[in-house]
Structure 1
Amino acid sequence: MNNSDSGATAQAAEDAASPPGMRIFQLPTGAYETPAALAFQGGSFRDRRQFAATAVLVQHPEGDVLVDAGFGAHAEEHIRMLPSFRRSPHHFGMTVSEQLDAAGYDRSRLLGVILTHSHWDHVSGLDSLDVPVLVTDEELRYADHNRGDRVFRRVAAGHSFRTYVFDGPAHLGFPSSHDVHGDGSVVILPAPGHTTGSVVVVVTLAPDRRYAFIGDLAWQLDGITRGAQRPLLMRLLADSDPARIRQDLARVTALAHHLRIVPAHDARGYDGIPLLVPDLDTGWAS
């Protein structure tokens, strides 16, 4: 990224706005443990990392969206559908559906689930969510041919799909964009490196409160703070286009002073994002 691109990116970050009343909440659904050595280059086998499976609820005056769906009610069954080398021990918490109900959330507000990509630990929770799935045609094609992860095809049955295209201009250093509400508050950016239809979701609550939910562009914050890619073996096993991963990591790293970067599987990235709990004044989530 050259200096002029960096300047335009910084200006776009500073100029961002959003409608009053927007809020976000984290909905942790569980975790699994992985050595840091398998998560990023330079990590240690002695350093055990908790890989979070956390969805995010974005409240917007025109309708709310979830970013990913976390572990579902049938997550243990979903794990058994995976290749044996991916069946690590998992800890399960409340599903997204259970957390919405416990908070008294009005589900009529929910427009759908934006998937960062279709891997099982991002979609398992669709098994108990009766809402549309917002996804690109590219990711649907990827999921249809992904023999190593059949969970999406199982949980997607019965759901309606709202496919979108990147019909908007270059945004924050990415070549194109899709504006969910048309006001710049929730913008999806193409990042087809981990899977061929992976995306980054940028949420703006205020000019100085912005989040980039980057899915599995990096598994841990070390991918941003240290510029550490996945180890070579993990890149070969997990990524569709490692070169595109490097390119998009550079784009995201350039945003780190302007946005809160949240890798899907690093619980530290969600620090400060409130949990969804009942609000006695409004009668639903706060």
Structure 2
Amino acid sequence: MRIVKTPAVCAIAVAFLALIAGAGAYAVQPRPQPLESLRLYVFDCGTLEGDPARFSFKREEMATTDMSVACYLVVHPNGALMWDTGAVPDKEVTSENQRARHHIVLTNTERYVTLAKSLKSQLAEAGYAPADIRYVAMSHYHYDHTANTNDFASATWLVRQVERDTMFADKPPDNLLRATFDRLRNSKTVIIETDDYDVFGDGSVVIKWAPGHTPGHQVLFVKLAKTGPVLLSGDLYHYPEERTLDRVPTFEFDPGQTRRTRAAIDAFLKKSRAQLWIQHDFMANAALKKGPAFYD
């Protein structure tokens, strides 16, 4: 919509803009142009209250039971990839920049997530809207990674067949909320058939198969020029103590496969010298700069 700034309509225009802002519109900031190198944006998509027992811990064994919920935007000169979309749908964020506790009801349990800002508002601050995103991929189908996935239904979905089949099964697992990603059913989709999928064809952004937590769980390798290579963990780990104390959550799809995948990823980390960013690691994630700042 184009608003002509004449004295007669100026006040009306201001009121109208305030109205649409309150209704969920986000002013997309100009993005730096041209983009010549890879960027990684980290967005704060909330804090999830964790239960130590579900992760095979006693409370005293852990530094904190809180888990970060992070969403990531990878921007390549040839397009943008949205990786994981949060735990709370943006439509439930009624007041930006004010932390609120959200109640999430699942089939057999409930969870609580505290959140201050919507994903779309954080994208907008970085200069992007969902329509600008070329690819969308989730590490896996659990509710705390899919909340805003429907907003990216116009993007190409990168997924493994076994994961997609589980997501749309007649009797889906308890830890997913199909309503958050149902629009992907008809999205343009690339079924990943190899262990490694090179998103942009130059080795800088690679989706790696990492099954165990779910049948088609995957992790994301991002080769940044200045920061160095980074591996986004999905839910291969949730807490750093899972690595140091060798613990596996109680709700893994295949605990044995999780252990084998962890060993394979550890070998890859040594070979690639990549940093492992555990997406749910509350304290490590708190130390990362958030969008609109970025890593390159």
Normalising by the smaller structure, the TM-score range is 0.7 to 0.9
Partner SS state of residue 50, structure 2: strand
Please give the TM-score of this superposition, normalised by the length of structure 2: 0.72
Alignment of 1:40-119 (within 5 A): 40-41=56-57, 44=60, 47-71=63-87, 72-74=89-91, 79-84=104-109, 87-105=110-128, 107=130, 109-119=132-142
Q: 1:144 aligns with which of 150, 154, 168?
A: 168
Report if aligned partners of 2:62, 2:241 keep a CA contact under 8 Å in 1: no
- Partners of 2:46 and 2:115 within 8 A in 1: yes
Contact 1:26 1:276 in 2 (8 A): yes
Q: How many Å apart are 1:143 and its aligned residue?
A: 1.7
Q: Does 1:239 align with 2:239?
A: no
1:100 CA drift (Å): 1.1
Cα displacement (A) at 1:81: 3.5
**Counterpart in 1 of 2:246?**
228
The number of aligned residues is 246
Deviations 1:118-158 (A, max 9, x none): 1100001224444433211110112223241341x212233
**Pairwise mapping of residues 1-286 of structure 1 onto structure 2 (< 5 A)?**
20-36=36-52, 38-41=54-57, 44=60, 47-71=63-87, 72-74=89-91, 79-84=104-109, 87-105=110-128, 107=130, 109-132=132-155, 133-145=157-169, 146-151=172-177, 153-159=178-184, 160-167=187-194, 176-206=195-225, 209-224=228-243, 226=244, 228-230=246-248, 234-235=249-250, 238-257=251-270, 258-270=273-285, 273-277=288-292
Q: Distance in 1 between matches of 2:133 and 2:221?
A: 18
Give the drift of 1:46.
7.1
Larger radius of gyration: 2
Give the whole-Å Cα distance in 1 for the aligned partners of 2:213 and 2:207: 16
Using the alignment, how far apart are the partners of 2:65 and 2:197 within structure 1?
33
Give the Cα separation in 2 of the matches to 1:130 and 1:59. 18
- What is the CA–CA distance in structure 2 between the aligned matches of 1:73 and 1:208, rounded to whole Å? 30
- 1:183-204 Cα offsets, whole Å, 9 max, x none, are 0011111111010010111111
Output the CA distance in 2 between the equivalents of 1:147 and 1:39.
Answer: 18
Unaligned runs of 5+ in 2: 1-34, 93-100
Q: Match of 2:69, SS?
A: strand
Residues 1:161 and 1:242: Cα distance change in structure 2 (over 3 Å): farther
Residues 35 and 48 in structure 1, CA contact (< 8 A), matched pair in contact too: no
TM-score (normalizing by structure 1): 0.75
1:97 is paired with a residue whose SS is: helix
What's the offset of the Cα at 1:77? 8.6
Identity, % of aligned positions: 23
The unaligned stretches of length 5 or more in structure 1 are 1-18, 168-175, 280-284
What do residues 191-229 of structure 1 show as CA deviations (whole Å, max 9, x unaligned)?
1101001011111113861111121111112233x1522
Q: Do the aligned partners of residues 52 and 213 (structure 1) sit closer, same or farther apart at CA in structure 2, a change above 3 Å counting? A: same
SS in 2 for 1:59: strand
The answer to whether the 8 Å contact 1:35/1:44 transfers is no
Inter-CA distance 109–90: structure 2 relative to 1 (3 Å threshold): closer
RMSD, aligned α-carbons:
3.0
Gap change, CA 1:68 and 1:46, over 3 Å in 2: closer
Aligned with 1:158: secondary structure? Answer: helix
